[in-house]
Chain A
Amino acid sequence: MRFVPYLYEIERLWLSLVNYLSPRKNKNRRCGEIDKIRMVKKGGTKRKIAIETIQKSDYLRVTCTKRREGLFSKASQLCLLSDAQIAILATPPTSESNISFYSFGHSSVDAVVSSFLSGQRCVPLQEDTKEMREDVAICLSRTNLGLGFWWNNESLNKSENPQEISDAINSMLTLLSNLKELSGEEALVNDHKDLKKNERSDVVLQHGTQYETLNPNSNTTTICCVPDELPANSNEIVGISPNPLIMLEKKKSQIEEKFEKEWQVSVTRIENEATSSYAKRRRSI
């Protein structure tokens, strides 16, 4: 038992020596000064970076993006828990950007900023706004934070007011339809991922000569799947960011081009075979 602390001390000293001798290999450190080398902490290798300006522009941009999202996330949690109204404004990391401000706000950035400039109070939020009730994302986030679903509320279950109950039922029906829309959107994203996988499989198949004949079938199946699902999803889903649709259209056009090439190749092959067989018959005759 007596030797255990000695071994620990030896290991700690060795690690500090290694860090001292080779500072460049330590990727987590972003400070160039040798004097700020830290001793190894007890228990684990994770460590916090010093809160100083990051010199490298690449690291700076990545850190800015991630930490901004984290800040917005914390603010959103606080909004859900305390029904607060928060506005956050952040400038871009470089002056060359075409974006003036990155902003997050609840109830909205404009409302909070205008009330701050005018020096007046914000209009307090209603606790059960219809928009808040019928938003799937907000309900799921509240569940993650430990607040239950609003329709399991005791006051709602004990109330005898038919008007209140009918309103709740209508909100729940709307929420259910929104939830199905969200499922559709998720399915769309998964289809997008599947298309990427199909593309990769096509690339693999093209190398193997044995499977050349199967290529048009796979292409046709992929082409047939896309237009059947797209209009249904587009009809159901109301608010979608245009990016995935544009990407899907690009993928579709690329697949069509490949299909055309394959078709032309097969046509030329058939023509060659026909001419060769005709020539053989002529020779035999």
Chain B
Amino acid sequence: MDSSMSTKKKTKLSVRNQTCFKKSSLSSSSTAKKTTNLSMREQTMFKKALELSTLCNIDVCVIYYGRDGKLIKTWPEDQSKVRDMAERFSRLHERERCKKRTNLSLFLRKKILDDTKLSEKVLEMEDSLESGLRVLQDKLLLLQPEKNQTEFGQTRAVSSTTNPLSPPPSLIEDHRHQQWTEPLMSGVSNTEQDLSTSSLSQNQSRISVFLYNHDNRSFYQVPDSVSSFDQSALLGEQGSGLGSNFDLPPMVFPPQMQTQTPLVPFDQFAAWNQAPSFADPMMFPYN
């Protein structure tokens, strides 16, 4: 019986597909195809209602609303009969109504459990569901990291804003190094050792400069001691330079620096880095 039923269903479906194909060739529109198919299904349903009522000598009524909520059709056509039956139904007590009342979900569930090929269909559905789930989860993860990338962009912007703060002290330091390297070049064999020490001191001074930036922000004292060592080395170099090039006119300015630095070297550097307005009067005597 089951095999015959399945063959019947298959043949019916194939027949309808053929008819839809023919009509679609004429009208060549999918909406027409769907409407013809659905209208045929509607006719089938009403026909089966007629057969049931006639064969079993019972009262049957069908109320059919469309998807937009309009009442499309009722069977029987005479709405008074349908209304009578509906009123009888509504007049019943809730217990009486619940007996033998099925929903789309319950009806389909019962129908599916009777199906012999349920296990195969369940496995197929499960596989499809899991694969679809993975695809969507990956897609969701792709959408979320885009937000993270935007955050990274913001951090980069912040870092770019910090960049202009660092060039001015580096430029100032470069000027100082240039002044000191010239007299060292004119020296004798001792000057070679001085060159090596000057290169080391330059590296240390650069390191000290960066540490100063950190110190200004975080106020660490350890970089202060490192900076003091560099200052003593620099002072020694300045003394030697002065001895070798006493007659040069541009060296008139360095003695002022020497006189100022030993007074409060730490405070001077701190003021130099912290307050640019304080540095401006230092620049004026040069001009």
- B-contacting residues, A124-183, CB 8 Å: 124-125, 131, 135-141, 143, 149, 151-152, 156-157, 160, 162, 165-166, 168-169, 172-173, 175-176, 179, 182-183
Residues of A75-96 at the interface with B, using a CB-CB cut-off of 8 Å, are: 75-93
Per the bound structure, the CA–CA distance linking A279 and B216 in Å amounts to: 112
Q: Please tell me if B150 contacts chain A, counting CB pairs below 8 Å.
A: no
The answer to the question of A73 belonging to the interface, with a C-beta cut-off of 8 Å to chain B, is yes
Interface check A211, CB cutoff 8 A = no
Which residues of B lie under 8 Å from residue A53 when comparing CB positions? Answer: 54-57
Could you give 21 example pairs across A and B, Cβ below 8 Å? A68-B52, A71-B49, A76-B107, A78-B38, A84-B64, A84-B66, A85-B65, A89-B61, A91-B59, A99-B99, A101-B101, A103-B97, A103-B102, A116-B82, A117-B87, A121-B70, A122-B69, A135-B105, A137-B108, A151-B136, A175-B129
Contact B90 A114 (CB under 8 A): yes
Whether A86 lies near B133 (C-beta < 8 A) is: no
Interface residue ranges, B against A (CB under 8 Å) = 37-38, 41-42, 44-45, 48-52, 54-72, 74, 82-83, 85-90, 92, 96-97, 99-105, 107-109, 111-113, 118-119, 121-122, 125-126, 128-130, 132-133, 135-137, 139-140, 143-144
Docked-complex contact B108 and A86, CB < 8 angstroms: no
| Chain B positions within 8 Å of A117 at CB level | 83, 86-87, 90
Does A83 lie within 8 Å of B67, measured CB to CB?
A: yes
Question: Which of chain A's residues have a CB closer than 8 A to the CB of B89?
Answer: 89, 100-101, 103, 109, 113
Taking CB atoms, residues of chain B closer than 8 Å to A115 are: 65
**Is B55 a contact of A54 with CB atoms below 8 Å?**
yes
Q: Which of A88, A105, A166 is within 8 Å of B49, CB to CB?
A: A88
Q: Verify A112–B58 contact, CB threshold 8 A.
A: no
Given contacts A104-B107, A169-B133, contact A89 B100 (CB under 8 A): no
Residue numbers in A under 8 Å from B125 (CB-CB)? 136, 139-140, 143, 149, 179
A256 at the interface (CB under 8 A from B): no
Q: CB within 8 A of A90: which of B52, B67, B86, B112?
A: B52
User: In whole Å, how far is B19's beta carbon from the nearest beta carbon of chain A?
Assistant: 16
How many angstroms between the C-alpha atoms of A52 and B57 in the bound complex? Answer: 9
Stretch at the interface among A59-67, A195-203, A216-224, A264-272: A59-67
Partner of B60, one of A89, A106, A125, A175: A89
Q: Is the CB of B56 within 8 A of A60?
A: yes
B166: min CB distance to chain A, Å? 40
Identify whether the interface residues of A are mostly helix, strand, loop, or mixed.
helix
A149→B97 CA distance, assembly (Å): 34
A166 to B, closest residue via Cβ: B140
Judging by beta carbons under 8 Å apart, are A169 and B136 in contact? Answer: yes
Instruction: Indicate if the CB atoms of B58 and A93 lie closer than 8 Å.
Output: yes
Report A-chain residues with C-beta under 8 Å of the C-beta of B55: 49, 51-54, 60, 63-64, 67
| Best-buried of B54, B88, B99, B136 by chain A (most CB within 10 Å) | B136
Query: A110 at interface (Cβ–Cβ under 8 A)?
Result: yes
Q: CA of A107 to CA of B55 in the docked complex: distance in angstroms?
A: 28
* CB <8 Å contact, B111 and A63: no
User: Does A186 have its Cβ within 8 Å of any Cβ on chain B?
Assistant: yes
Q: Is A214 an interface residue (CB 8 A)?
A: no
**Contact B113 A186, beta carbon cutoff 8 Å:** yes
A140 contacts which of B86, B87, B103, B121 (Cβ < 8 Å)? B121
**Chain A hits for B56, CB < 8 A:** 53-54, 60, 63-64, 67, 93
Task: Give A13 Cβ to nearest chain B Cβ, in Å.
Answer: 29
Chain B residue with the shortest CB-CB distance to A65: B56
Q: Which residue of B lies closest to A108 (CB)?
A: B103
